[in-house]
């Protein structure tokens, strides 16, 4: 019966299409097109983030040269909260045993094993130890709600509320806007719906590091022309900030210490001079000795507990965001 089996010429056409598809696949491989497509897809993944990324967070997408531009508006404190930002200290560095990427307990005013270890390194009198402490220093991150006014690379983000993570450089610009240096500059509250100003975020790559120096505030104008209905709608869409620094966002001291020991590896040692500083020992030895990081943690009491985290050594104070982003890109 006709129609039960396809005509022979139809079978040949189907086989020819399949053979042409395979031949095309081989041709693309020979020309390097497959690799090119995969490379582009990987670049896209690295730029836009993985599928399990937090969709509440907004990040400015930069081009291959490391440049990016957008206009955002910092929003007031969420309902029931006093401050329009949350402040988080964290550590991110690589050791023989892998990466250490953890929130620091100093955020909550507590002791943190990495800060204690870094203090010993810094006080050892050894330049190599100081360099290591710098690489392991705390990173300060602020998190605020923002309204995206203009995002040329991803225009679908415009008109939406996001969480935005930023470092000390951007925060300095916020404080400078609130506390101008010169008489002819008018103070503004960047987080105010009506008296605030749009922030022109401009990113450049300078000497391999991300640079925000060109970023600036526009003149003070009400957001969305001061339409209270629209502003209230935006305010109701803001994300709570305090849960971002809740106790459940931090591991215990013992858990962090165990992770640190794993990352440092068994070969890591604490300089004897640092041990002496920690113990405030007056004893001297004919030859400097060193001990394991594990045992050194037991001798950190006097020095680390005597000073609060508000008086961290200079290596802990400056903004390390660009450093860690560069470090991550190199790996």
Task: Give the residue among 167, 183, 160 at the shortest CA–CA distance from 75.
Answer: 160
How do residues 301-316 score in pLDDT, each as one tens digit?
333 333 333 333 334 4
Q: What is the pLDDT of residue 162?
A: 98
Angle between helix 113-122 and 253-264 (nearest 10): 50
- Name the more confident of 309 and 190: 190
> Which residue do the tokens 């037991």 mark?
298
Percent of residues, the chain, with pLDDT higher than 70: 64
| Cβ-proximal residues to 138 (8 Å cutoff; 6+ apart), any chain | 89, 90, 91, 104, 106, 114, 115, 312, 316, 320
User: How far is 119 from 131, CA to CA, in rounded Å?
Assistant: 12
Which superfamily does CATH assign the domain made up of 57-116+137-252+315-330 to?
Replication Fork Single-Stranded Dna Binding Protein (3.90.198.10)
**Across the chain, which distance is largest between two alpha carbons, in Å?**
105
User: How far is 312 from 316, CA to CA, in rounded Å?
Assistant: 6
Confidence of residue 42 (pLDDT cuts 50, 70, 90): low
User: Which segment, 170-174, 301-305, 321-325, is predicted with the most confidence on average?
Assistant: 170-174
Strands 197-206 vs 68-74: parallel, antiparallel or unpaired: antiparallel
Tokens of 264: 């440092």
How do residues 131-164 score in pLDDT, each as one tens digit?
999 999 999 999 999 999 999 999 999 999 999 9
Confidence of residue 183 (pLDDT cuts 50, 70, 90): confident
CB count within 10 Å of CB 39 equals 11
User: How far is 73 from 221, CA to CA, in rounded Å?
Assistant: 11
Burial of 163-201, coded b for 16+ CB within 10 Å and e otherwise, reads: bbbbbbbbbebbeebeeeeeeeeeebbbbbbeebbbbbb
How many secondary structure helices (H) and strands (E) does the chain include?
11, 11
């Amino acid at each position: 019966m006709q129609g039960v089996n396809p005509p022979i010429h139809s079978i040949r056409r189907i086989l020819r299409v399949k053979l042409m598809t395979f031949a095309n696949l081989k041709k693309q491989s020979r020309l390097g097109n497959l690799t090119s497509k995969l490379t582009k897809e990987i670049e896209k993944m690295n730029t836009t983030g993985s599928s399990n990324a937090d969709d509440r967070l907004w990040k400015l997408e930069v081009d291959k040269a490391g440049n990016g531009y957008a206009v955002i508006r910092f929003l007031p404190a969420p309902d029931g909260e006093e401050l329009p930002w949350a402040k988080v200290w964290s550590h991110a560095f690589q050791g023989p045993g892998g990466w250490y990427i953890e929130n620091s307990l100093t955020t909550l005013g507590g002791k943190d094993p990495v800060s204690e270890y870094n203090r010993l390194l810094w006080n050892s009198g050894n330049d190599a130890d100081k360099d290591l402490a710098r690489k392991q220093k705390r990173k300060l991150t602020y998190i605020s709600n923002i309204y995206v006014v203009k995002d040329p690379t991803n225009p679908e983000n415009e008109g939406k509320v996001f969480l935005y993570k930023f470092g000390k450089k951007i925060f300095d610009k916020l404080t400078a806007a609130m506390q101008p240096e010169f008489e002819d500059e008018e103070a503004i509250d960047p987080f105010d719906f009506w008296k605030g100003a749009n922030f022109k975020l401009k990113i450049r790559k300078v000497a391999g590091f991300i640079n925000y120096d060109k970023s600036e505030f526009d003149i003070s104008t009400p957001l969305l022309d001061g339409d209270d209905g629209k502003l209230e709608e935006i305010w109701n869409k803001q994300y709570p900030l305090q849960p971002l620094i809740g106790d459940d966002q931090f591991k215990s001291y013992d858990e962090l210490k165990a992770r640190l020991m794993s990352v440092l590896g068994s070969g890591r040692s604490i300089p004897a001079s640092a041990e002496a500083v920690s113990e405030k020992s007056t004893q001297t030895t004919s030859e400097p000795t060193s001990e394991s990081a594990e045992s050194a943690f037991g001798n950190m009491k006097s020095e680390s507990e005597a000073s609060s985290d508000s008086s961290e050594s200079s290596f802990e104070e400056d903004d390390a965001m660009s450093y860690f982003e560069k470090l991550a890109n190199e790996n």
